[in-house]
């Protein structure tokens, strides 16, 4: 019962995290090279080639390409050498740096040498039960999550997660946060970009309960770039030129997502909607001030727990809805309210509202 209570509390806390970075735009990405150090990951049939080697090489190439193409973006690698990083720490690196995006790079493996291709995964409950794909994904999830036991500080009772306990997967599927839609968009962009590349077979996008994705508080995906157990996929991965091509494909997907993300964060020229507020504030040319607490992809009830009792104004912008509270004609009064609000919503910020225009202020 204690574990259920703790997990429920964690879910509530993470669901309150805003989706908008302080600087309104995709500014920080964390690239996670799967496995490393004492954890080799998947191993080739001849025991000579390790997943950890490929993931680090591709991650470093992608990081270099993003830094060159998008110099305004901060790129952080969870590891840049052959060292072991726990699953929890990988996610926490992204959380501590307030990353806007998390991409975990892996190479797949299967008992059958015929299995091949790339796939992209977001947090969720595995679907299509009683199918070969479901069984394959379940084995993949169990293998990736089992790495948690290599962490010397790992204690099942503290983390609330035991990869050998089926009930743990049930709790993980509860993490259907507001980041899901963005994660799926990114995953689809990655699969589209990888088409026609060194690894040919598209295995699709799926939702699966990966621990490393569960712990992140931003849009996050895990991508499997081929099978180390498949002769053809392995032959491609062994070539430096092909690994560089895979990094180029991921760069293309990142660029597409960044444009989509940045455009969704443009606060100018948006239409206002007050459908969930019992006493809507009418649009006027009067300058108003408020505190933006988060953005969501769908409307929520005015009684939603994430609002903590506040009655927000809601601003539509493309696929997103921005929630602004403490709206006041006095900037000073709004700032006073903000001092208390930011204790509950650490990533919130003040905005100025004039007619159809909304802009952030210091």
288 pLDDT higher than 60:
yes
| Whole-angstrom distance, CA of residue 69 vs CA of residue 250 | 13
State whether residue 171 is helix, strand or coil: helix
pLDDT for the residue numbered 262: 83
> At CA 36, angle to CA 143 and CA 163, rounded to 5?
25
Rounded Cα–Cα distance for residues 119 and 224 (Å): 5
The structural domains of the chain, with segments of one domain joined by +, span 2-264, 271-360
Q: What is the CA radius of gyration of the chain?
A: 22
**Are domains 2-264 and 271-360 of this chain identical in fold?**
no
Residue 342: pLDDT over 90: no
Residue holding tokens 């009830």?
A: 301
Q: Among residues 29, 110, 34, which one has the least CA distance to residue 73?
A: 29
pLDDT tens sequence across 1-39: 444 445 454 444 444 444 443 456 899 999 999 999 999
- The pair of structure tokens assigned to 214 is 């569960």
Rounded distance between C-alpha atoms, residue 34 and residue 317, angstroms: 35
* Cβ–Cβ < 8 Å for 28, 21: yes
The DSSP letter of residue 199 is S
H or E, element range at 180: helix 180-194
Check: pTM over 0.85? Answer yes or no.
no
- When pLDDT is cut at 50, 70 and 90, the band that residue 215 belongs to is confident
User: What gap in Å lies between CA 349 and CA 58, rounded to an integer?
Assistant: 36
Does the pLDDT value for residue 109 go beyond 60? yes
Is 79:33 a contact under the CB 8 Å cutoff? yes
Q: How confident is the model at residue 321 (pLDDT cuts 50, 70, 90)?
A: confident
220 alpha carbon, distance to own chain's centre: 2
* For residues 235-249, average pLDDT: 97
* 3-state SS, residue 62: helix
Q: Which of 8, 16, 69 is nearest to 256 (CA)?
A: 69
Cα 166 from Cα 154, distance rounded (Å) = 18
Higher pLDDT, 239 or 158: 239
pLDDT band, residue 318 (cuts 50/70/90): low
Asked if 270 and 315 count as a contact pair (C-beta separation under 8 A), the reply is yes
Q: Is the pLDDT of residue 236 over 70?
A: yes
**Helices and strands counted in the chain (H then E):** 11, 12
Q: For residue 261, what pLDDT band results from cuts at 50, 70 and 90? A: confident
**Whether the Cβ atoms of residue 49 and residue 234 lie closer than 8 Å to each other:** yes
- The predicted-structure confidence for 118-134, as pLDDT tens digits, reads as follows 999 988 765 544 434 43
Q: What is the 3-state secondary structure (H, E, C) of 280-340?
A: CCCCCCCEEEEEEEEEECCCCCCCCHHHCCCCCEEEEECCEEEEEEEEECCHHHHHHHHHH
Instruction: State in words which class domain 271-360 has.
Output: alpha beta
Report the top-level CATH class of 2-264: alpha beta
Q: Distance between CA atoms of 317 and 208, rounded to whole angstroms?
A: 29
Strand partners, 75: 29
Distance CA 278, CA 70 (A): 43
**Secondary structure letter of residue 146 according to DSSP:** G
């Amino acid at each position: 019962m204690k574990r259920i209570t703790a997990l429920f509390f964690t879910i509530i806390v993470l669901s309150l995290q805003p989706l908008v970075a302080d600087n309104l735009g995709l500014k920080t990405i964390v690239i996670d090279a799967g496995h490393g150090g004492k954890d080799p990951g998947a191993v080739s049939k001849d025991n000579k080639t390790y997943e950890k080697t490929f993931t680090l090489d591709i991650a470093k190439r992608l990081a270099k390409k993003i830094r060159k193409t998008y110099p305004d973006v901060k790129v952080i690698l969870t590891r840049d050498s052959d060292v072991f990083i726990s699953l929890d720490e990988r996610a926490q690196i992204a959380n501590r740096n307030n990353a806007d995006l998390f991409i975990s790079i892996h190479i797949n493996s299967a008992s059958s040498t015929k299995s091949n291709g790339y796939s992209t995964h977001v947090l969720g409950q595995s679907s299509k039960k009683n199918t070969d794909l479901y069984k394959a994904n379940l084995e993949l999830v169990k293998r990736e999550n089992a790495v948690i036991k290599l962490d010397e500080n790992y204690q099942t009772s503290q983390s609330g997660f035991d990869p050998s306990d089926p009930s743990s997967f049930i709790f993980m599927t509860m993490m259907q946060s507001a980041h899901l839609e963005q994660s799926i968009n990114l995953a689809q962009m990655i699969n589209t970009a990888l088409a026609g590349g060194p690894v040919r077979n598209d295995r699709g996008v799926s939702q699966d309960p990966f621990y490393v994705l569960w712990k992140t508080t931003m849009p996050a995906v895990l991508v499997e770039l081929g099978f180390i157990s498949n002769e053809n996929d392995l032959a491609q991965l062994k070539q430096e030129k092909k690994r560089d091509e895979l990094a180029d494909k991921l760069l293309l997907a990142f660029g597409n997502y960044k444009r989509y993300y940045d455009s969704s964060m443009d606060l100018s020229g948006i239409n206002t909607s007050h459908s969930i507020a019992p006493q809507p504030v009418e649009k006027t040319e009067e300058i108003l001030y408020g505190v933006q607490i988060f953005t969501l992809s769908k409307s929520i009830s005015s009684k939603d727990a994430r609002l903590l009792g506040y009655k927000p104004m809601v601003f539509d912008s493309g696929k997103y809805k921005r929630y602004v509270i403490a709206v006041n004609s006095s900037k000073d009064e709004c700032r006073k309210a903000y001092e208390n609000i930011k204790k509950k919503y650490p990533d919130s910020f003040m905005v100025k509202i004039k007619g159809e225009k909304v802009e952030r202020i210091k």
